[in-house]
Structure 1
């Protein structure tokens, strides 16, 4: 599916696979393998940025994925993120959707928020926030109604 479908239908906290049509190079060709890995992998959907424009500039919007696991160290997490513009020609697929009872730990940035951690439950989310020391945090529990609404409204990507 396209990155636009991910933007429109995938929930924050979903695990997303991304790929191009190039076959994986052999382990011996390290440079080609590194280039291939930039366009092929998985990551947690941590942010959807809407398109914006004004008189001077405009952006197409984007989705941001966090490869690997969630980290308490915000600087390391920021460095690891991959952002894909909504006109990306890569192919995307949802490989995991958050389940009821999981809790999104979101940090507020003005009108937008970014997922810092997907906790197994509320106690885990509170523990993570206490250990991390992050501020401007909002906890959002994934509820059955959200999952059902996604299915009924066709947002199951």
Structure 2
């Protein structure tokens, strides 16, 4: 599926894999492998940003994936996000949708909100919010209103 379909149909919190369709190079080709891994990976969908205009320039809509966290001893030192334009030539696949009943902690109300955490229950989301302190955060329960992406890929909604 395209990045545009991810933007249009897939809910925040879904796990997305992206690929350019090329085969993985052998381990011994470190530079080629690193370049391949840059275009063939995955992450959790944390933000959808609408098209916007800056002066005379139009910036296309984007999707952002949380690829990973790096650190040690329970301390995150570096959080890695990847942002893709809806015009991206990569192919995207939804590998996991947020569980119905899970609660998304969003950075603010509105369409450009960023997913901060995906909790299994409302109580867990409240506890996460108390310990992390985002003053404008909102809680959003995952419902059954978004099976369209699974139908687009020829699967039944889980």
Assess same fold via TM > 0.5.
yes
The answer to whether structure 1 residue 18 and structure 2 residue 14 are counterparts is no
Please tell me whether the aligned partners of residues 102 and 119 of structure 1 are also in contact (alpha carbons under 8 angstroms): yes
Report what 2:155 is aligned to.
Answer: none
Please tell me whether the aligned partners of residues 13 and 44 of structure 1 are also in contact (alpha carbons under 8 angstroms): yes
Please state whether the residue corresponding to 2:87 is helix, strand or coil. Answer: coil
Corresponding residue pairs, total: 148
State the TM-score, normalized to the length of structure 1. 0.83
Report what 1:76 is aligned to.
Answer: 78
Please state whether the residue corresponding to 2:78 is helix, strand or coil. Answer: helix
The alpha-carbon deviation at position 112 of structure 1 amounts to 2.3
User: Which runs of 4 or more aligned residues in structure 1 lie more than 4 Å from their structure 2 counterparts after TM superposition?
Assistant: 71-75
Please state whether the residue corresponding to 1:113 is helix, strand or coil. Answer: coil
Instruction: Kindly indicate which of the two structures has a greater share of residues assigned to helix.
Output: 1
Instruction: Kindly indicate which of the two structures has a greater share of residues assigned to strand.
Output: 2
Report what 1:130 is aligned to.
Answer: 130
Unaligned runs of 5+ in 2: 153-158
CA offsets, 1:107-131, max 9 Å, x none?
Answer: 0287621001111111211221122
The alpha-carbon deviation at position 155 of structure 1 amounts to 4.3
